[in-house]
Structure 1
Amino acid sequence: MSSPGIVLVSKFTTSKSKKFTSYVNYIDRDEATRTKTFEKYNVNKLDGYNQYMGNPEKSNGIFTRFKDRLNESEKKQLKNIFQLAQDNDSVMWQDVVSFDNKWLEENKIYNPETGWINEGAIQNAIRKGMDVVLKQEQMEESAVWSASIHFNTDNIHVHIAIVEPYPTKEYGVYKDKNTGELYQARRGNRKKSTLDKFKSKVANTLLDRDKELAKISQLIHEKIAPKGYQFKPNATLYMSKMYNNIYSKLPSDMRLWKYNNNALNHIRPQIDELIKIHIEKFHAEDFKELDKALIEEMNFRKSVYGDGEKEIKRYEDYRENKHQELYAKLGNAMLKEMKYIKMQEQGRFEKNIPINERSHFAHKGQRHHKALTRSHINQLKKALQDDFQSYKNKRKYEQMQREIEYEQGR
């Protein structure tokens, strides 16, 4: 089993905790003192923190959202902010992001021979990750955070602390596990999805994978299923039959015509099958490129999360979810077209539909009450051919009549 490249350990404490007070007291101390007293303010050690890191050997100082390293005056200002947060009964959240040194080495972020580490890249990744955390938890305007990179022989790691000088979190009632007594405290739990997105953002930023992620998004949303995409139901007779069969099974209420709506559970497998055929016919190369990019992203996530039982499910889900995202876009494009067909059948005219959303089933003012199938097209061709042959016969007859009249008049 491979080791994860990044491990995230998170916990929070209330303003009444000694850990909170210890952290505030040591914010403005020199790095040697802060390192020696690290255990006094670290609330994560009982959550497996020591399993990955042990005690830090050194730290290069505190950094924040805007500053790479605080001077003495800035440390005092930060200490006052954390003290204000404690006085106002804020929660303090602590996160420890631990990196596998070998993983950092493989990705050119750390050189074990010289001891060099790209601190700027790590600080930037933490900042991007914290932007995600604060946005997800609706704390963008209320939270203040500080962090420091710690070094030891096994794992380089970042210690982060977050507070709200003017708290926004509501109070809840909790039970003391030891005494059974009820007490009131501000809510500090964060969503698991928040922490997962934080970890993912740190990893993607650190390895500069924005281009790879943008490529996946571009393939889905711009190449295979762009906005206003027109599904091509009449490409083959088989696809046309499938299309019309799906149309005939849709519920009468068009408000339910959404790909992920439970009302379509009974026909979604048919929709998926038609989408699959459609992709194979019109976007085979684009889909191949997309799947290659998704597999590469899965391998990257494997290096980040490791290959434990839960971790495997996590990065395998990514590929499946992106496939589902694509199918939902194409499915909704098809259902939107079907809505237009239904509206035309009900006598609703296109003038009520925005120009940029008009169906390709009506052109230059023509009104079609039903989608043209290949059978309809063949019937139309035959009718046109019959009319043309009749026209030619009539012209030939008229010419013969003129020739007879000419001969009789001589």
Structure 2
Amino acid sequence: MATKQGKTVPSIVFILEYTLPQSGKTLTFKEYVDYMQRKEATSMESEQTDSTEIEKLNIEVTEDDYQGYLKRRELYFEGREELLKSDDVDDAFLDTIAEVVPEQTFSFKEYVEYMNRTYATKMSEDEITDERTPLFNETYNNAPKSEVQKIKGKLDQAYQNGSPMWKGVLSFDNDFLAKEGLYDKEKQTVNQELLKEAVRSAMPDILGREGIQGSAFWWGDIHHNTDNIHIHIGISEIESNRSKIFYAPRQQWEYKGHFSQKTMKAMKSKVYNQLLSADHKTRLVLEQQKIANLRTDLLSGSTQKELMEDPKHQLAQFYLQQVYNHLPENTKWRYGSNAVNMQQSKFFLKKFMENYFKNDGKDLYKQFQEANINLLKEYENAYQAVEKNRAYEKMRKVDGKEVHTTAFTKGSQLSVALEKRMKELEERIGNQILRYLRDHPPKEESNIANFSKGNQERILAVFPNAVAVHQKKSWEKQGYQIKPDAKPVPLLLNVGKDEDGMPRFEEVDYYELSQVQLVAPKKPSASQILQMDEEDIIDYIEFLKQYNPEDEGIKAELGAYKYALKLKGLEQQEKLLQQGLSNLSKVNPLASDQGFVNCKIKDFQERLTLIRLQKVPNFALNEQQIAQKHELSKKYKSVVQIPINEVTQKYLQQRLLELNQEEKLAEQVQDEGVFQLLLPSMEKNAYLEFIDLQKQILKTKARICDNNDTLKVIDDSKLRAENGRLFNELKKLYAKIEGREFEEQFQGGRFFHQEAKMSVSQSYSQKELIQSLTKKKLPTNLSTNYLRGLVLALNAGKNRNYESLMAKIRSDKHEEDEEKREERREGRSR
């Protein structure tokens, strides 16, 4: 693709227009007015307009309107009105074509007359003979005059029979032809034989696409100027096989003239590929073979034994198990299916492929993308325009009628074409995995090794090939049902200690896999679901919500994924709290700050205790642990989330006491670096404001709670009005505190600030620390020395270095404050 006058020029452009022999009735002025009246009435009837309104119509048709009609009719029979532009030409290009390819401006009759007088004079002097002409067709490169006469005779018959004639122009960028060795820039000559052969090879397919391969005849001629080589192509039929349409303005049935845009694009593609040099073709063939090989490797890799069986690929195996568990019975499995009963399996298939492309297939997938981009760029450069918003004519059918509109080019479609290829790859891998699952159903994970040696012997004595055993309740939770004739295997389980402190065992019934049958999609365990990323769990929960919430299988599965999401959030909260506790425990604070640091250490320790209790089901906790879990949950429940009816005066006073104590300790803090150990961007004033907002929300909720208690006894309109005002106030307070609450920061396992993510699994690195300290506004401007000291101390990772760090922070801060005060004094003295 070349660039000329600031525009990219495709290697090949193709335009096509058609004309018909002039026939049919030309409407008189009165007939034209009547026609327009009927047309308007028909339009209004289609819009369900009242019939009386139609009768009142008095459509004004001027003489200018009628002259416009006559002009359009004249233009039509000159072939100019029915121009089929591909999406990469503009009016300036068409003007050039009209100048260098005069045939494009002729009517059908003029074209026939032109053939006799012109073709014999267009060859160079050394080429002129009595027999040869520049015209070529499917048989001749330089048709003899006798062949030209035959074509003219066929055109005469086509004209008499009212058949269409198509006039096309292929225009080539000379730089492209030169690159492929077809054009000599110095001599300005082109290899006409290869150009003609390219057109000749393309024509059968083009005519076949339009259904006229058996009835059409065609001919061509090469034109050239200093900028471009053009090939004119004429097509017609003696007896047309095209369907007919009735065109009201001309009051006649006429043959369909338009070729489809797909045909237009196919013409460019066929000719382009024919003209490529041997080296160029070889390179493209190799590139296509490379893509095919990469696709094959990706396909085979997606079902490799290691991926399917190796324990290190548990997430991939979990996805495949879920695909299989949700597949419908007694139907063909197809990735492209839009059937409702395939959608859950498709969800997990996509997750499996995402995981595969990110991990085992990562390198192959990247190479496949790059190879496709390179190949698509080659073709895009060949015959696509990359300018956006260039106008072109577009044809479509509405209710069987052709409608012509102006459309605009979208520019480069590389990303669209690439996405299509990636989706094709996805579909092929999806179908391959479905075939694999049909032939190799996933095996139930064995749990026999989890039992004691004695219990293993009891199991294997009854089931020598045992795979997995569970209690009845456990099987049912997974979607299985015990078979009617199944006899359990009694195993000895430790159920606690007796009065003497000795282990106490009881016999518990277990069933083996062969004794159960699947009656509902198998529900995965929380530990299996936790392998998924948080966002993927959330995606699946949202996906399940589109199904019937009363469906027992959907309800159970939704509950399992919500529970896993809760555990995921608790795990992430736990890591954050552990890191925060680690940071606080390393601090050697000022005496004024010690109380606040101790307060937050206790806070974090209690929150960690709560999380550990929340991760254990209540049935596995003793009464003391359940009571502790309840108290801590109440203490650390978000002031936003706590229900109004729980904010009693007793609860309010207890929470206010705790918040006032924390506020008092926070006010005493002199080193604001302490607050930044809680959040890298935290400031003292912001922290105090946060405490105050919590108190305001609790007080507002307590007043509403008291009013509600009173309203249960008496109906007081003043109290109801006050509650309305308090609710509005509560909304405003929520807006202020949004995103600042500690509980909200952890809500649903989501991180509250980007900086907090950095501290989940490790201490701050040098880069992360500087980012966290400079990303948002801090209480003071930090000097380079300050940051350098901070980084050095943190990199050391020792408590004593951390203490040195805090001392250095305070020292540097003090020095910087003194320097600023001195500068201000000097400024005032001046």
Which band: TM-score by shorter chain?
0.5 to 0.7
> For 2:164 and 2:221, how far apart are their aligned partners in 1?
20
Deviation at 1:220, TM superposition (A): 5.5
Is this contact kept in 2: 1:301–1:315, CA < 8 A?
A: no
1:262 paired residue number: 338
Aligned 1:102-251 pairs, distance under 5 A: 102-176=175-249, 181-208=250-277, 210-211=281-282, 214-215=285-286, 218-219=289-290, 224-225=295-296, 231-232=303-304, 234-235=308-309, 236-251=313-328
- The answer for unaligned runs of 5 or more in structure 2 is 1-6, 23-76, 79-106, 124-132, 389-408, 461-830
**Residues 148 and 160 in structure 1, CA contact (< 8 A), matched pair in contact too:** yes
CA gap 1:118/1:74 in 2 versus in 1, 3 angstroms? same
Bigger shift: residues 278-287 or 150-159: 278-287
Distance 2:198 2:344 in 1: 45
312-321 vs 160-169, which moves further: 312-321
Q: How much does 1:192 deviate?
A: 1.1
Identify the match of residue 164 of structure 2 among 71, 80, 91: 91
Which amino acid counterpart does residue 12 of structure 2 have in structure 1?
I
* TM-fit CA distance, 1:242: 0.8
- The structure number with the bigger radius of gyration is 2
- Cα distance 1:204–1:312, how it changes in 2: closer, same or farther (>3 A)? farther
What is the CA-CA distance between 1:323 and the residue it aligns to? Answer: 1.9
Question: Which whole-Å CA distance do the structure 1 matches of 2:208 and 2:283 have between them?
Answer: 23
Q: How far, CA to CA, are the matches of 1:118 and 1:268 in structure 2?
A: 54
- Residue 307 in structure 1 maps to residue 386 in structure 2: yes
What letter is aligned with 1:325? E
Match of 2:375 in 1: 297
Q: Distance in 1 between matches of 2:448 and 2:234?
A: 73
For residue 113 of structure 2, the aligned residue among 25, 32, 40 is 25
How far apart in 1 are the matches of 2:254 and 2:197? 33
Q: Could you give the per-residue CA deviations for residues 348-373 of structure 1, whole angstroms, max 9, x where no partner exists?
A: xxxxxxxxxxx3x3xxxxxxxx3236
Cα distance in structure 2, aligned partners of 1:311 and 1:128: 30
Aligned position for 2:17:
11
* Aligned amino acid, residue 24 of structure 1: V
CA contact (8 A) 2:171 2:230 kept: yes
- Residue 216 of structure 1, CA deviation: 5.6
CA distance in 2: counterparts of 1:97 and 1:62, whole angstroms: 15
For each residue in 1:140-192, what CA deviation from the matched residue of structure 2 results, as whole angstroms up to 9, or x when unmatched?
2222211111111222111111112332111111233xxxx432101122221
Tell me the CA shift for residue 294 of structure 1.
Answer: 1.9
Residue identity matched to 2:411:
I
| Structure 1 residue 73 displacement after superposition | 1.3
- The C-alpha deviation readout for 1:28-75, integer Å capped at 9, x for no partner, is 44437679xxxxxxxxxxxxxxxxxxxxxxxx7111123211011111
Say whether the 8 Å CA contact 2:291–2:371 is kept in structure 1.
Answer: no
Q: TM-score, normalised by structure 1?
A: 0.68
Cα distance, 1:154–1:334 mapped onto 2, change above 3 Å: same
Cα distance, 1:242–1:194 mapped onto 2, change above 3 Å: same
Among residues 431, 440, 443, which one is paired with 1:372 in the alignment? 443
* Contact 1:294–1:319, Cα closer than 8 Å, also in 2: yes
Describe the shift of the 1:10–1:91 C-alpha distance in structure 2 as closer, same or farther (beyond 3 A).
same
Distance 1:79 1:73 in 2: 10
Q: Provide the residue aligned with 1:67 in structure 2.
A: 140
Amino acid at match of 2:188: G
Whole-angstrom distance in 1 between the partners of 2:240 and 2:203: 18
Quick check: 2:222–2:231 contact (8 Å CA) kept in 1?
yes
Higher RCO (Cα < 8 Å, 6 or more apart): 1
Establish whether residue 101 from structure 1 lines up as the match of residue 174 from structure 2: yes
Q: Deviations over 1:248-273 (max 9, x none)?
A: 33344624x32222225565454234
TM-score relative to the length of structure 2: 0.36
Distance 1:121 1:280 in 2: 47
- Counterpart amino acid of 1:293? A
How big is the shift at 1:109? Answer: 2.5
> Could you say what secondary structure the match of 1:244 adopts?
helix
The verdict on how the C-alpha distance between 1:81 and 1:32 changes in structure 2, with shifts beyond 3 A counting, is closer
CA displacement at 1:241 relative to structure 2: 1.0
Contact 1:136 1:194 in 2 (8 A): yes
Aligned in 2, Cα 1:210/1:165: closer, same or farther, shift over 3 Å? farther
Q: Which amino acid aligns with 1:124?
A: E
Give the C-alpha shift of residue 222 in structure 1. Answer: 5.9
Amino acid at match of 1:260: G
Determine the C-alpha separation between the residues in 1 that align with 2:135 and 2:265.
24
Q: Provide Cα deviations, 1:316-369, integer angstroms capped at 9, x if missing partner.
A: 33222222222222222222334x3xxxxxxxxxxxxxxxxxx3x3xxxxxxxx
Partner letter of residue 246 of structure 1?
Answer: V
Indicate which of 407, 415, 437 corresponds to 1:316: 415
Q: Deviations over 1:96-147 (max 9, x none)?
A: 1111223333443222211121222322322233233123223322222111
Output the CA distance in 2 between the equivalents of 1:219 and 1:276. Answer: 22
Question: 2:227, 2:207 → 1: CA distance?
Answer: 30
Q: Equivalents in 1 of 2:138, 2:362: separation in Å?
A: 44
What's the % identity of the aligned pairs?
24
Report the residue type matching 1:247 in the other structure: Y
Aligned AA for 1:138?
G
Distance 1:112-1:274 versus aligned 2 partners, 3 A rule: same
Q: Matched residues in 1 for 2:121 and 2:347: separation?
A: 63
Contact 1:225 / 1:330 at 8 angstroms: preserved in 2?
no
**Match of residue 40 from structure 1:** none
Whole-Å Cα distance in 1 between the matches of residues 329 and 117 of structure 2? 70
Question: Residues 19 and 164 of structure 2 are in contact (CA less than 8 Å); yes or no, is this contact kept in structure 1?
Answer: yes
Distance 1:94 1:13 in 2: 8
Change (3 A) 1:149 1:270: farther
Q: Distance in 2 between matches of 1:90 and 1:284?
A: 58
Cα shift at 1:239: 1.4
SS in 1 for 2:15: strand
Q: CA deviation at 1:211?
A: 4.3
Q: Which moved more, 1:217-226 or 1:182-191?
A: 217-226
| 1:22 Cα deviation after fit | 2.3
Cα distance in 2 between the residues matched to 1:259 and 1:67: 50
**Stretch moving more, 128-137 or 67-76:** 128-137
Deviations 1:4-39 (A, max 9, x none): 22222111122334622222333344437679xxxx
